[in-house]
Chains A and B, each alone.
Chain A
């Protein structure tokens, strides 16, 4: 079984802005990888490349062993929950219809009910999506991503604007999907505590990859983690924090 994700020497430039530079890393089956980095670090851009939404890059991106530049087939194994849901608030679709939209041909209709029960939204099945709270909508979109039984989930800042209670429920669900169903998860978040609590691995991105490795290792030095997550230029931050002698080594499992 090939690795779910294998990225090497990925660079992306938008007119004038270098969004990603020489990023290389891999994700193993069953991993729970948290991506951190400040606004504009390139997290969404990285996801876009992995999902075939952005094809203007150099380097290679392999999804389940296949180069997605050539074949979009492997994307069928991925469930994706985007950073922002920008649908019309009064879009006339019910929760059930939204989940059905994501369904591949051949997936049984019963699966929709099953996935709604798993995510505690079965009672909302016939409500309009726009009438739900942010946290409820979030769960609907995860249900939609889960309906085809993906091997991997990609979630871009999934807890923005979600209250504490929904967040705990949401984290519980993710944890369960990862540990009990063996689903590989890759997600981005600005919440360091959540990343620490949830992820088995951490990647710290800010145009280039500053760190990629086990979460334990990353959080061994709390202060380092704080800085890496908040500064726009980590090496600059180091100078203002004499407690840390030198920038951490760039760890790169893929290369």
Chain B
């Protein structure tokens, strides 16, 4: 029976942290997608790979270093976009490659590491410790609280910066706050799907939900629902088939998206 595995502590931790990360990525991701920042998560993840390598080199806990580098990169991309009028995708492309490149150079120079780089690249949700789980829960709780408290401001700024500004919202601050939270989210989510598949969590459930929902709240709830259910079933599937969870999660998410698209083209979901 598949459900027997629920008795294992590691499985309980994996499901709990996986579902939590799914919620977090959906909520942060929808604002990024709507700002045409879909690849932002990828860029931060790639640069935090450099952070992981740096942490290993310096003998620090790699994830902490990844958090630092991810936040610095998030703020840097935003600053470059604003100051030099570089388009978002170009700024992201630069960071995307430099993170991995720096990481590889560091790894090369230090003669390789015994720690499994593979788990950073593709996630290691089945290996999360109790401490990791607590960190994931606390981080998610804190970020969601901030988003809830500033919900209208964040949504308004995302919808139309100019009008938000006239309404007295400090749009620059809101933007920096959002990318800061995205920086935290990315590193937290690396444990679930790894550096290479982060964008999938940010983007796929939200794109799917945007096809189905009408209003904003409804869309967010749908996206969370899709994300949590694909993560949970993906983790189960990975256990049953003995494959990497990141793979099964993302493949499932893509299947849901594909099914939604197909249903839509077939006219099953009438435009309301």
A residues near B (Cβ < 8 Å) are 51-53, 72, 75-76, 78, 80, 82, 85-88, 90-94, 96-98, 101-102, 126-128, 131, 144
Contacts and interface: CB of A to CB of B under 8 A. Distances in A.
- A interface, over-half SS: loop
Contacts of B272: 127
B159 A87 contact: yes
B166 A92 contact: no
B214 interface: yes
Given A101-B152, A101-B155, A92 B215 contact: yes
A137 to B, nearest CB: 12
Interface of B: 34, 36, 152, 155-156, 159-160, 162-163, 165-168, 209-210, 213-219, 271-272
Contacts of B214: 92, 94, 126-128
A72 B164 CA distance: 13
The B contact surface, by secondary structure, is helix
A78 B167 CA distance: 9
B168 A91 contact: no
Given A92-B219, A126-B214, A80 B271 contact: no
Contacts of B210: 90, 92
The 3 closest A-B pairs by CB, nearest first: A92-B219, A94-B215, A101-B156
13 contacts: A52-B165, A53-B162, A75-B168, A80-B166, A88-B34, A91-B159, A92-B209, A92-B216, A93-B215, A93-B216, A102-B167, A128-B215, A131-B271
Contacts of B36: 88
A179 to B, nearest CB: 25
A104 B101 CA distance: 48
A128 B213 CA distance: 9
Contact of B160 (A51, A75, A87): A87
Given A92-B214, A93-B215, A101 B159 contact: yes
A102 B165 CA distance: 11
Given A76-B168, A91-B34, A131-B271, A82 B162 contact: yes
Contacts of A82: 160, 162-163
Nearest to B218: A92
Contacts of A53: 162, 165-166
